[in-house]
Amino acid sequence: MSGELEQRYRRALSWYPRRWRDANEDAVVGTLLDVADESGERTPSKSDLRSLRLHGLAAHFTFLGRILTPAIRDRVSAIALGTGFALSAWAAFFEVANARGLDRFSSLSGHGTATTFGPFVSLGIILYLTWLIAFTTSFLGRPWLLRLLLVATIPAAIVARVVSEQLGMNLFPSTTTVLLLEMFALLALLGTPRPTARWRIWIGLSAVVAVALITWVLRGTYGFLDTGDNVTYFGRYFFFQAGPIGGVIAGYCAAGAGVAILCLLLQRWTWAAVVTISMLPWFALYLSRDPGDFAFWTAAAIVLAVVAMAIALRARGLRIDITFTRR
């Protein structure tokens, strides 16, 4: 009977990471059997099994937390915050600019009155303003307020998208924009922003880079601001443009992957992880646009696997030394 009980406990422990089990399984099973002897239990209680499963699952996250050090999480958070800010600033600008264009389009095309949200195209402005306030808050040294606002952007994104569509607004935040901002919010929540000069520099730098990137990506939308009487430009908004954006994002992902590999070669482990994790929303964006791109999938999987393996080895205290010798 004891053998059967032991086997059931060992099966329950399979919820723990293998590494944890190698180190602790025998001791834990010994304790479980001691407790069962004392209470006279012949089968594991449901509460014991539930406790083991929950702690087993939690142990996976503990291991993940050990790999993702505060240095990595804080930098990823800074980059995500800056990028989310840049995207929101751009989107907020278009909320106003497109509302004007929408009126003109409606009158030119005879579609009647456009449905807008006051001077804005849609309720998306609520999401973008929340992001802008969150970014500003990061400079005030109130991390709890920043986290609260970042969490608030997640339901705000869903409300902005769904309600704008339900109210029949002619334009609303695209699913891509909403998902990107949600991914940036989650990445920004990974770290604990610290109001130091260095932290501000990283936020500012990442915001500038993101603004430059998004400006480049959306360069075609400049045409929208001055459509004149040409209504065919209408609707070329954000990531709706099919042509050049896919290539630009793929190039951006490739550049990010290159930087991550370079960081690995230079043994800048932290930065390799930071760059790779920061690129995840862009990888996801590209793959959602072109899920059949086998070459991209393969390249992305290889880069992610190499970086993840290197970081995991590093977390376990192992390292790969690369030395260059002159022949």
Partner 1 sequence: MREPTFFVLASLADGRKHGYGIIKDAEDLSDGRVRLKVGTLYAALERLTAEGLVATAGDEVVDGRARRYFELTDVGTTSLAAEAERQAMNAARARARLTQRAARAKVAAATAPAKVATA
Kindly indicate which of the ranges 31-39, 69-77, 189-197, 271-279 contains the residues binding partner 1, using the contact rule CB under 8 A: 31-39
How is residue 246 written in tokens?
A: 């896919």
Distance of CA 314 to the CA centre of its chain: 23
Q: Which is nearer to partner 1, 27 or 322 (CB)?
A: 27
Q: Which is nearer to partner 1, 34 or 165 (CB)?
A: 34
Tally helices (H) and strands (E) across the chain: 12, 0
Instruction: Give residue 151's Cα distance to chain centre.
Output: 13
Closest CB to partner 1 among residues 24, 267:
24
Q: Which stretch binds partner 1 (CB under 8 A): 21-29, 148-156, 183-191, 206-214?
A: 21-29
226 is a contact residue toward partner 1 (CB under 8 A): no
DSSP helix/strand/coil, 117: strand
Question: Residue 51 Cβ, how far from partner 1 at the closest point, in Å?
Answer: 4
- Least Å distance, CB 58 to partner 1, is 7
Helix (H, G, I), strand (E, B), or coil: what is residue 252? helix
For residues 51 and 136, which CB has a smaller minimum distance to partner 1 in the complex? 51
The answer to whether the beta carbons of residues 84 and 129 sit under 8 Å apart is no
Read off φ and ψ for residue 120, nearest 5 degrees.
Answer: -110, 160
By CB under 8 A, what part of segment 263-292 binds partner 1?
none
Selected range binding partner 1 among 32-40, 85-93, 128-136, 198-206, rule: CB under 8 A: 32-40
- 111 versus 316: smaller Cβ distance to partner 1: 316
Tokens standing for 97? 């600019």
Contacts with partner 1 in 37-76 (CB under 8 A)?
A: 38, 47-48, 51-52, 54-56, 58-59, 62
Q: Which is nearer to partner 1, 55 or 194 (CB)?
A: 55
| Interface with partner 1: number of residues (CB under 8 A) | 22
Largest CA distance in the chain: 86
The correct pick among 11, 19, 22, 31 for binding partner 1 (CB under 8 A) is 31
What is the distance between the alpha carbons of residues 181 and 23, in angstroms, rounded to a whole number?
A: 40
- In the shown chain, the binding pattern of residues 133 to 152 toward partner 1, with x for contact by CB under 8 A and - for none, equals --------------------
Distance CA 124, CA 156 (A): 8
Q: What whole-number distance in Å separates Cα of residue 49 and Cα of residue 137?
A: 44
Residue 103 tokens, joined: 């009126």
Hey, what are 173's tokens? 């935040």
Shortest distance, position 13 Cβ to partner 1, whole Å = 9
Nearer to partner 1, 31 or 192 (CB): 31
Please state, in angstroms and rounded to a whole number, the distance separating the CA atoms of residues 222 and 244.
14
Dist. CA 226–CA 199, nearest whole Å: 38
- Helix (H) / strand (E) element for 142: namely none
Residues lying near partner 1 in the complex (CB under 8 A) are found at 24, 26-35, 38, 47-48, 51-52, 54-56, 58-59, 62
